Amino acid sequence: MKHNRNLVLAHLWLAFAVFAIAAVFGVWLMWVRSPLHAPYENPQNYFRSVTLHGVSMAYVLTTFFAMGFGYFVAETALGRDIPGIRWAWAAFVAGAIGAVMAALTVLAGDASVLYTFYPPLTASPLFYIGLVLVVGGSWVWCTIMIVAMTQWKRANPGLAVPLAMFATVANAIMWLWTTVGVAAELLFQVIPAALGWTDTVDVGMSRTLFSWTLHAIVYFWLLPAYIAFYTMAPEAAGGRLYSDTMGRLTFVLFLLYSLPVGLHHLFMDPEHSTGFKFVQTALTALVTVPTLLTVFTITASFEVAGRLNGGTGLFGWLRALPWRQPMVLATGLAFFMLWFGGGGGLINMSYGMNAMIHNTSWVTAHFHLIFGGTVVIMYFAIAYQIWPQLTGRVADADDLAQQRWQLWLWAVGMMVMTLPWHWLGLEGQWRRVAHFDYDDPLIAWWASWVDLSLLGGVILLISASLFIVNLARLHARQPAGRAGPQPLRYAVPLHPITRLPAALNGFALWNVLVLVLMAAAYGWPVGQFIAQPSPAAIVHHVDRPS
Amino acid sequence: MDRKWRVWGTLGVLAALAVGGLLGFIVLPVVQGRAAGIDAFTAICRAVGILPGSPARPTPPYHAEPQPVTKVAWTTATFEELYRADRANGARLAGERCISCHTLEGNTPDPTIPRNIGQSVFALYKQLHDFRSGSRVNETMSPLVKDLDDKQIADLAAYYGRLFRGAIDPDVSGRYAGIDIQNIVSNGDVARGLPPCSACHATRAGGPIETPTLTGQYAQYLEAQLKAFASGARHNDIYHRMRSVAAKLTSNEIRLLAIQYSGE
């Protein structure tokens, strides 16, 4: 890792700086919803902050992290220079400018549209153009990833693409498919309306196009965590990856089944028929397969490591694992949170049960637990793992102890915050509401649960601050000298790859199948808006400033 | 090996799609449609989204007319009409149409018929208006007011609504029917989502404006009305207020509330 560490560092520092700022807004949001009096409390500030927190965490942190980590993997796993490095820097600059544009528009109060793109909420065009720049930058990254893998394959015919790179390209291809929905919505509906070029927005159509993006985007955030599970955690635990094929299959299944499932975000919407909702429910259920494959494979890999470390008996290997390694600890904590978050997700995706938790705090709690918990804790672990390579500084025992503290605080804070939040959602607490009247006897009992949730938020903010301190402290130290840190090694599979089918070494077949699935799942749900005139009730007339 | 992966991969994906499609487009709509009395073809078309509506429920007629619970609007014109009402004409109309049941004094001895004495002008106006528009139905009252115009209704309401002589003084009336009933009157019941009766019904009429005076009314009449609200047989209460309240009361509570308000 010599050539492009500044490129990776620029991406990761930008991602984490935005994360730290957004974390402050997150705690403030919890505070406003609690019975305690928060400063600057009013509904305008609340929705402005929801937008800023959501856009920063969901779009800026994730996109820049995935891009930076992708560049790192491309260089280290393939052992080659990244192609098109100038393009990569240009994409970074464009994305950074876009992020700042979006943030300023939100702060100015011209874009309190939350972080979803649901008309009739419409923001200033600058907000959308800013986000288009971020997404445009990520498309450049996708292209670079695909080109890097293709060039490597050409130079190494017949060899298996390293799993880390295969998975990164799976994510890049998935992201290209994913962004088609929101790009179509923004370019053909929202931006023309925001600029005043059109008079109406078909809200049914825009919700459908956004749903195309809305679920797959979650997997775009998630896959870097899974890449760490498969290629970093077994090595950090001192073992081997139980099955390389399982890993490839997992990423292929994510590519296939993250996309044709977005209608499960529109179960309560009237513009879609029950049949298509059901088909997408069935396809959503298949996403559990790669998740369970991963839980099995990584647990098996850890068992191998634990037994190599001298662990015996049915569960003795668990104790023998090197939990002092932040990557191992983070993987354990991530799996713990995944059980709760994944279980909640099964309720969300069930066509019938969804009605129970629709638009309640349950939903917010769910995605905080699974994204903020399982995924982001792995972002931390990845950063800790690759920071020595990027900065040339070696972490000592004190650093590792502080990193473990930070990871524990994050997991505890996330559980304390989200479990009461789930419970309140089941009891009917609304999401996206700025103020609750806790004097009302019907909801008075919520108060102590919301306070508890806020306490979780405060713990998370402490952890987020400690994370920045940990990274900065290591970065600011004297370089380790000539020897430098050990080069990063990706996990070696237990059984060496002798021959790999083309299907697990490339994406041609899966791209065709994604096309088939998307045509089947979204063909009529999108096409109906073109084939039939929409009912007047779901066509929004754009307000004209007089 | 490459070919095997290609074939089985494709078949696997198509099989998942086919199973989902078979269940979502054919099995479920046909089964649900049968239970809802919808033929299989229509149910499938609905599940696909070619026809509107759900395969699991009969679709309500598209052009159903909305039915307001009342046609009374408390506009300045209504208030003016009541203010300018002709009580003498009201007395004459009462003599023609109301006297045999309600008596001219508004103080009927029959406990199934409400006392008009001491009642609010606005409550009387609204009820007469609702009987005429069909929002409230009673086999005796509905035909009697059918041909009255707005002015005549206002005259009648003004006549009965200003009869106070002999009325029970609401400030001293009422009968204590136990702590539980008093609690419902003053505090409601949070667990059942019941607001207190006194939120609207004061010792006199209370508010919103059409709220009737309950004190001194016959218990038998009050009980019958609460039961009618509870079952939905009477439904001229704006925003469903009385129907939602009455449906949550037990029949014993209804009886005791009627006694407490009537003072009998």
By mean pLDDT, which of A160-169, A233-242, B184-193 is the weakest? B184-193
Distance in Å, alpha carbon of A280 to nearest chain B alpha carbon: 8
Q: Could you give the percent of chain B with pLDDT greater than 70? A: 93
| Contact between chains at B20 and A282 (C-beta distance less than 8 A) | yes
Residue A221: which of A64, A328, A346 has the closest Cα? A64
Task: Please list every residue in chain A whose beta carbon sits closer than 8 Å to the beta carbon of residue B23.
Answer: 278, 282
Is the model's pLDDT at B135 over the cut of 50? yes
Q: Which of A282, A502, A520 sits opposite B2 (nearest CB)?
A: A502
B19/A contact by beta carbon, under 8 A: yes
| Contact between chains at A275 and B6 (C-beta distance less than 8 A) | no
Interface of A with B (CB under 8 A): 256, 272-283, 286, 441-442, 499, 501-504, 509-510, 513, 516-517, 520, 524-525, 528
Q: Are B34 and B95 part of one and the same domain?
A: no
Measure the CA–CA gap between B163 and B104, rounded to whole angstroms: 10
Q: Which of B6, B49, B54 sits opposite A503 (nearest CB)?
A: B6
**In this structure, how many other beta carbons lie within 10 angstroms of the beta carbon of residue B241?**
16
Which helix or strand (DSSP H or E) is residue A201 part of?
strand A200-202
Contact predicate B195/B242, CB 8 Å: no
Contact predicate A371/A54, CB 8 Å: no
Distance in Å, alpha carbon of B67 to nearest chain A alpha carbon: 20
Residue A106: which of A88, A77, A126, A86 has the closest Cα? A126
Q: What CATH number corresponds to the domain at position B95?
A: 1.10.760.10
Average pLDDT over residues A349-377: 95
More reliable by pLDDT, A485 or A43: A43
> Among the options A53, A215, A272, A393, which is catalytic?
A215
**pLDDT computed for residue A224 by the predictor:** 98
Is the model's pLDDT at A425 over the cut of 60? yes
Task: Report which DSSP code applies to A533.
Answer: P
Q: Which residue type sits at A374?
A: T
**How far is C-alpha A356 from the geometric centre of its chain's CA atoms?**
25
For residue A444, the chain B residue with the least C-alpha distance is B190
Query: Is A432 known to be catalytic?
Result: yes
Q: Are B187 and B238 part of one and the same domain?
A: yes
Q: Which residue type sits at A6?
A: N
User: Helices (H) and strands (E) in chain A — how many of each?
Assistant: 20, 2
Band of residue B61 on the pLDDT scale cut at 50, 70, 90: low
The overall longest dimension of chain A from CA atoms, in Å, is 76
**pLDDT computed for residue A514 by the predictor:** 97
Q: Single out the residue in B32, B58, B84 at which a domain terminates.
A: B58
Contact predicate B114/B106, CB 8 Å: no
| Contact between chains at A525 and B14 (C-beta distance less than 8 A) | no
Measure the CA–CA gap between B123 and A189, rounded to whole angstroms: 52
| Contact between chains at A274 and B28 (C-beta distance less than 8 A) | yes
**pLDDT computed for residue A3 by the predictor:** 64
Q: Is there a domain that residue B63 lies in?
A: no
Q: Is there a domain that residue B238 lies in?
A: yes
Computed over every residue of chain B, the mean pLDDT equals 90
> Among the options A48, A248, A366, A540, which is catalytic?
A366
CA torsion sign, A445 to A446 to A450 to A453? Answer: positive
Distance in Å, alpha carbon of B147 to nearest chain A alpha carbon: 39
Q: Are B83 and B134 part of one and the same domain?
A: yes
- Cα A107 to Cα A13, A60, A62, A123, A388: the distances in Å are 22, 16, 21, 12, 36
Q: Is there a domain that residue B169 lies in?
A: no
Task: Please list every residue in chain A whose beta carbon sits closer than 8 Å to the beta carbon of residue B6.
Answer: 503, 509
B24/A contact by beta carbon, under 8 A: yes
- Read off the pLDDT of residues B207-245 as tens digits, 9 standing for 90 and up: 788 999 888 899 999 999 999 999 989 999 988 899 999
Query: Is A422 known to be catalytic?
Result: no
**pLDDT computed for residue B262 by the predictor:** 87
Measure the CA–CA gap between A123 and A120, rounded to whole angstroms: 10
Query: Is A431 known to be catalytic?
Result: yes
Distance in Å, alpha carbon of B48 to nearest chain A alpha carbon: 5
Distance in Å, alpha carbon of B106 to nearest chain A alpha carbon: 42
Is the model's pLDDT at A290 over the cut of 90? yes
Measure the CA–CA gap between A419 and A432, rounded to whole angstroms: 18
**pLDDT computed for residue A324 by the predictor:** 96
Band of residue B64 on the pLDDT scale cut at 50, 70, 90: low
Radius of gyration of chain A measured on its C-alpha atoms: 23
- Is CATH 1.20.210.10 the right assignment for the domain spanning A5-541? yes
For residue A274, the chain B residue with the least C-alpha distance is B47
**pLDDT computed for residue A74 by the predictor:** 96
Domain of residue B154, residue span: 76-161
> Among the options A210, A431, A507, A540, which is catalytic?
A431
Is the model's pLDDT at B167 over the cut of 60? no
Q: Is there a domain that residue B13 lies in?
A: no
Q: Could you give the percent of chain A with pLDDT greater than 70? A: 98
> Among the options A248, A368, A393, A422, which is catalytic?
A368
Q: Is there a domain that residue B186 lies in?
A: yes
More reliable by pLDDT, A544 or B8: B8
Band of residue A546 on the pLDDT scale cut at 50, 70, 90: very low
Is the model's pLDDT at B63 over the cut of 70? no
Contact predicate A163/A231, CB 8 Å: yes
| Contact between chains at B25 and A501 (C-beta distance less than 8 A) | no
Is the model's pLDDT at B47 over the cut of 90? yes
Long-range (24+ apart) CB contacts under 8 A made by B193-200 are B193/A442, B193/B248, B194/B245, B194/B248, B194/B249, B195/B245, B197/B245, B197/B257, B200/B241
Measure the CA–CA gap between A318 and A302, rounded to whole angstroms: 8
Band of residue A536 on the pLDDT scale cut at 50, 70, 90: confident
Q: Domain tally for chain B?
A: 3
**pLDDT computed for residue B62 by the predictor:** 60
Task: Please list every residue in chain A whose beta carbon sits closer than 8 Å to the beta carbon of residue B14.
Answer: 516
Distance in Å, alpha carbon of A31 to nearest chain B alpha carbon: 27
Question: A447-460: string of b/e by CB count within 10 Å (b at 16+)?
Answer: eebbebbbbbbebb
Q: Is there a domain that residue B68 lies in?
A: no
Band of residue A64 on the pLDDT scale cut at 50, 70, 90: very high
| Contact between chains at A279 and B25 (C-beta distance less than 8 A) | yes
Instruction: Enter the ipTM.
Output: 0.87
If phi > 0 it is left, if psi is from -120 to 50 it is alpha, else beta; for residue B83 that is alpha
Contact predicate A165/A78, CB 8 Å: yes
- Cα A357 to Cα A215, A246, A492: the distances in Å are 17, 34, 43
**pLDDT computed for residue A114 by the predictor:** 86
Q: Which 3-state string (H, E, C) describes chain B?
A: CHHHHHHHHHHHHHHHHHHHHHHHHHHHHHHHHHHHCCCHHHHHHHHHCCCCCCCCCCCCCCCCCCCCCCCCCCCHHHHHHHHCCCHHHHHHHHHHHCHHHHCCCCCCCCCCCCCCCCCCHHHHHHHHHHHHHCCCCCCCHHHHHCCCCHHHHHHHHHHHHCCCCCCCCCCCCCCCCCHHHHHHHHHCEHHHCECCHHHCCCCCCCCCCCCCCCCCCCHHHHHHHHHHHHHCCCCCCHHHHHHHHHHHCCHHHHHHHHHHHHCC
- Please identify which residue in the block is written with the tokens 């309140």: A424
Is the model's pLDDT at A122 over the cut of 90? no
Q: Is there a domain that residue B10 lies in?
A: no
Q: Is there a domain that residue B85 lies in?
A: yes
Measure the CA–CA gap between B14 and B16, rounded to whole angstroms: 5
Contact predicate A257/A286, CB 8 Å: yes
**pLDDT computed for residue A419 by the predictor:** 97
- Read off the pLDDT of residues A408-424 as tens digits, 9 standing for 90 and up: 999 999 999 999 999 99
Q: Is A166 exposed, middle or buried (0-12, 13-18, 19+ CB in 10 A)?
A: buried
| Predicted TM-score of the model (pTM) | 0.79
Measure the CA–CA gap between A321 and A302, rounded to whole angstroms: 7
- Read off the pLDDT of residues A475-516 as tens digits, 9 standing for 90 and up: 998 887 766 788 889 999 999 888 899 999 999 999 999 999
Band of residue B178 on the pLDDT scale cut at 50, 70, 90: confident
Tokens at A380, concatenated? 């931390």
